[in-house]
Amino acid sequence: MTAAVVPAPSTIRQVDAAPFRLEGAGLVGDADAAAALRGLVTPLTGSALDGDERTIELRIEPGGAPESYVLAADEASVVVTGADAAGLFHGVQTLAQLVHESADGWVVDAVEVEDAPRFRYRGVMLDVARHFHPVATVEAFIDRAALLKFNHLHLHLTDDQGWRLHLDAHPELTRVGSDTSVGGDPGGFYTKDDYRHLVAYAAARHITVVPEIDMPGHTHAVGLAYPQLVEAPVLSDHILETVAAFGGDAPAVGVAYDGMAVGFSSLRIGDERTYDFVADVFGELAGMTPGPYLHVGGDEALGTDPADFAAFIARATEIIADLGKTPIAWHEAGAAADIASGTIGQYWGYVTPTDGMDAKALAFVRNGASLILSPADAIYLDMKQSADSPLGLTWARGVTDVRRAYEWEPTEVIDGVAEDDILGVEAPLWTETVRTLADIDELAFPRIAAAAEAAWSPAVGASELRTWESFRERVAAQAPLWSAQGIGFHRSEGIPWP
């Protein structure tokens, strides 16, 4: 397949002309976009794109939809025109995907592409709490996300196993709350400069960082640093069963937790010191986060009384809103009647909802806000993608193959949630079993491309490209570019890899 673009563009048309040959071609126009294109095409082809026989022109022409671009290629030239810098950057990703080897060397076939995103919010999430991932790994994850036109990186910065961001107001969080990861693996944390660097690195790739500080559950690490802020662990049967199944010790007061159980910890809801803490934490975070969103978590607070949970969510989201930021919360927070207006919900139930999770998500929409969809049995990238791999978990109907990751339509997940109620789509990667960039690649690829297509491309039924048969061919064609970028993708069955 020679015009194999992932995520599928709005329109792509073959043009009756000979292909554009890369040999002897040079780049003109926007310098940032040119650097991005060289970063993709040079490792693939060996060409520095510094010839003068024919040109690839990269330019910005305001006027189109945000993040949109047009690409026109024939034997004489390639012109990529972005409506803004992000649109041009996305067009560069498309152009790199169109480069392929032929009898005439490396070429781009004659095509015309017109493209714009379906959803404004296209996210990936990396859990840096269950296993800490150093700055270089997060940079590599950002590069991978950019290839697929994602524009948000959600960092799950805190959990029972570790607090991963230094904050001046509460230095003990990282001094004593970040030493380990799941399985007793090494921990770590980001300095404020590390965090600012990641924000800037992402912004240079048109990606906005969405930091999450998970509350009121998932807070055992807080208690290591500030015991007065948390309750003792609630050791339900569910927790003890998880401990028995996955090993390690049960959670205990004052002891770093390196197991995989969830739902045993809670901040002290009735204590005013808790809200001083919440205000300090989100205030300091807001000061170094230029993006509009702060994620407050709110999931799996199984150790928190429901009325207390609702009261906490109302206050925490109000604190964030008062900082001038838009709160995001996992869908459980939809149960809180007094949640701050405008709070965005993130749905992590199944493609076919169970257990009333859809009702909690729908509450955000009823409250006048929108939803991010992260259906766990489709695009939780940490679900096993092969039964015999040590990587990944299975609780969300895993094993999850790439076809299941692909075959769902955002408007068909929750009754009463239509196109305009959906801010976007996000694929989370939790890292209980994930230690290295190679592990990330093996679990994320190629399923991350399926999530990108749900987020960017026309709806299922609105484009002939939005079928599994088309996707499997187009995703297979990414293999040379992915390999040239050093991505150790999983060679999923069912994909005709070259």
Residues involved in catalysis: 300
Q: Which amino acid is at 37?
A: L
| 364 lies in the site for ligand ACM, by CB under 6 A | no
Q: Which residues are bridge partners to 124 per DSSP?
A: 153, 427
| 214 lies in the site for ligand ACM, by CB under 6 A | no
| 348 lies in the site for ligand ACM, by CB under 6 A | yes
Distance CA 243, CA 249 (A): 7
CB nearer to ligand ACM: pick between 106 and 380: 380
Chosen residue from 74, 160, 179, 299 binding ligand ACM by CB under 6 A? 299
| 212 lies in the site for ligand ACM, by CB under 6 A | no
Dig out the tokens for 114 from the structure.
Answer: 């017109």
Distance CA 410, CA 330 (A): 17
Dig out the tokens for 40 from the structure.
Answer: 């993709």
Least separation in angstroms between residue 428's CB and ligand ACM is: 7
DSSP-assigned letter for residue 17? S
Which sign does the torsion angle of CA 448, 452, 458, 464 carry? Answer: negative
Least separation in angstroms between residue 396's CB and ligand ACM is: 8
Question: What distances in angstroms separate CA 217 from CA 13, 37, 333, one per listed residue?
Answer: 50, 43, 12
State the distance between the two ends of the chain, measured CA to CA, in whole angstroms.
Answer: 11
Nearest residue to the partner ligand ACM, using Cβ: 299
For residues 221 to 260, the per-residue mask of contacts with ligand ACM, x marking binding by CB under 6 A and - elsewhere, is ----------------------------------------
Least separation in angstroms between residue 241's CB and ligand ACM is: 17
Contact assessment for residue 348 and residue 415, using Cβ atoms and an 8 Å cutoff: no
Least separation in angstroms between residue 86's CB and ligand ACM is: 28
451 contact partners, CB below 8 Å, separation of at least 6: 124, 378, 379, 381, 405, 425, 426, 427
Instruction: Give buried/exposed letters for 14-44 (b at 16+ CB in 10 A, else e).
Output: eeeeebbbbeebbbebbebbbebbbebbeeb
CB nearer to ligand ACM: pick between 12 and 129: 129
| 309 lies in the site for ligand ACM, by CB under 6 A | no
Dig out the tokens for 348 from the structure.
Answer: 């992590």
Total number of residues that touch ligand ACM (CB under 6 A): 4
| 302 lies in the site for ligand ACM, by CB under 6 A | no
Chosen residue from 189, 190, 330, 408 binding ligand ACM by CB under 6 A? 330
CB nearer to ligand ACM: pick between 195 and 330: 330
CB nearer to ligand ACM: pick between 330 and 406: 330
| 57 lies in the site for ligand ACM, by CB under 6 A | no
Least separation in angstroms between residue 129's CB and ligand ACM is: 12
Least separation in angstroms between residue 32's CB and ligand ACM is: 35
Distance CA 205, CA 89 (A): 8
Least separation in angstroms between residue 330's CB and ligand ACM is: 5
Chosen residue from 300, 308, 401, 407 binding ligand ACM by CB under 6 A? 300
CB nearer to ligand ACM: pick between 132 and 348: 348
| 139 lies in the site for ligand ACM, by CB under 6 A | no
Q: For residue 421, give the nearest of 480, 323, 334, 336 by alpha carbon.
A: 334
Contact assessment for residue 28 and residue 55, using Cβ atoms and an 8 Å cutoff: yes
| 312 lies in the site for ligand ACM, by CB under 6 A | no
Dig out the tokens for 289 from the structure.
Answer: 């986060």
Q: Which residues bind ligand ACM (CB under 6 A)?
A: 299-300, 330, 348
